[in-house]
Amino acid sequence: SSSNHQYPEQLELHNYKLLNKIGEGAFSRVFKAVGINTDDQAPVVIKAIIKKGISSDDTLKGNDRIQGSSRKKVLNEVAIHKLVSKNNPHCTKFIAFQESANYYYLVTELVTGGEIFDRIVQLTCFSEDLARHVITQVAIAIKHRHYMGIVHRDVKPENLLFEPIPFYGLDGDMQKEDEFTLGVGGGGIGLVKLMDFGLAKKLRNNTAKTPCGTIEYVTPEVFTSKRYSMKVDMWSIGCVLFTLLCGYPPFYEKNEKTLLKKISRGDYEFLAPWWDNISSGAKNAVTHLLEVDPNKRYDIDDFLNDPWLNSYDCLKDSNS
């Protein structure tokens, strides 16, 4: 099975030793690793991507030629990741690229808090302050990418990683997370990073046409019209913000056809009781992001200027 998939090529990965597996995608496995022959013992992350068309006992389906990633796709991911991660706190740092007979390897900085996705599962949903703290950082990450002409196309809670808020006790040792270390909105979330450039693309003429993304977070125009723009990321940000606030995504259906129909109509609701105590300002921001017509939808600057995004209730409370 795929989870027992062995990596017999460990030795072909130069300068790094794989430790435990921390993630898994369709064509990739993600490992924690450490450098060998170096003084720097800081752990890194290695995403091993299976090459397209290889055929060996090492495949997921016996001896079939497996469907992996093409060289062109992976080199695009690497190039964009390198470009975006330069001097950017809201992106995982890119460290190195390697390649062996059957795999591509992307070495990146380890982000220790894990996925925002898991933190939502853990907390059920986020307070408005915590949601704002997270989505503001996502918006800043997207602002930088859009400014460079890059569309991310895969903004979702699984691709958002965070550093926990560190707290040092009087003895100088790092303390375990507790109520004093939870920070803004009580979530223990510090710096947020938007990663995974597997679907990212540098746009020409500011439009693209290949349908892609994770269906639950994909915007209607990706499957209803021929070309789409940067605005696709804004729809996904809307899906993420919705999910942070109430704990479940705006569009969720087991049946894919029904799901696509609901997305194309923008058919979602602020259901009771989950939305009863959420402010009209937050709902207004979600509404402007989950706007079916891309021309009417918030762009990244509109969202960064949104009144709810810029209203810090936590500060207001402490002043009153």
Which listed option, Mg ion, ligand ADP, none, makes contact with residue 195 (CB within 5 to 8 Å by class)? ligand ADP
23 binds, among Mg ion, ligand ADP, none (CB under 5 to 8 A by kind): ligand ADP
Does 159 sit near Mg ion (CB under 5 A)? yes
110 binding partner (options ligand ADP, Mg ion, none; Cβ < 5 to 8 Å by kind): ligand ADP
In three-state secondary structure terms, 108 is strand
Of 48, 195, 208, 282, the residue at the interface with ligand ADP (CB under 6 A) is 195
If one asks whether residue 25 binds ligand ADP (CB under 6 A), the answer comes out as yes
236 binds Mg ion (CB under 5 A): no
User: Is there a catalytic annotation at residue 173?
Assistant: no
List phi, psi (to 5°) of 311.
-110, 110
Looking at the Cβ atoms of 108 and 159, the one nearer to Mg ion is 159
Largest CA distance in the chain: 68
Tell which positions 232-251 bind ligand ADP, by CB under 6 A: none
Q: Is 34 in the site for ligand ADP (CB under 6 A)?
A: no
Q: What are phi and psi of 106, to 5 degrees?
A: -110, 120
Contacts of ligand ADP in 141-160 (CB under 6 A): 158-159
Name the minimum Å distance from CB 94 to ligand ADP: 10
CA dist list (Å): 129 to 189, 240, 245, 282, 312: 11, 15, 10, 10, 7
Distances (CA, A) of 303 to 70, 162, 242, 286, 288: 35, 21, 14, 10, 8
Which is closer to ligand ADP, CB of 97 or CB of 312?
Answer: 97
Of 33, 45, 131, 138, the one binding ligand ADP (CB under 6 A) is 45
Backbone angles phi, psi at 128, to 5 degrees: -60, -35
> Counting Cβ atoms within 10 Å, is residue 157 exposed (0-12), middle (13-18) or buried (19+)?
buried
> Binding residue per annotation — 254?
no
Stretch that binds ligand ADP, among 68-76, 105-113, 125-133, 238-246 (CB under 6 A): 105-113
Kindly state the tokens that stand for 52.
């397209």
Binding of ligand ADP by 89 (CB under 6 A): no
Catalytic one among 39, 40, 154, 299? 154
Q: In 2-155, which ranges are continuous DSSP H helix?
A: 71-85, 116-123, 128-147
28 counts as binding ligand ADP under rule CB under 6 A = yes
Buried b / exposed e along 106-131 (16+ C-beta atoms within 10 A): bbbbbbebebbbebbeebeebbbbbb
Catalytic positions are: 154
Site for ligand ADP, rule CB under 6 A = 22-23, 25, 28, 30, 45, 47, 92, 108-111, 115, 158-159, 161, 195-196, 198
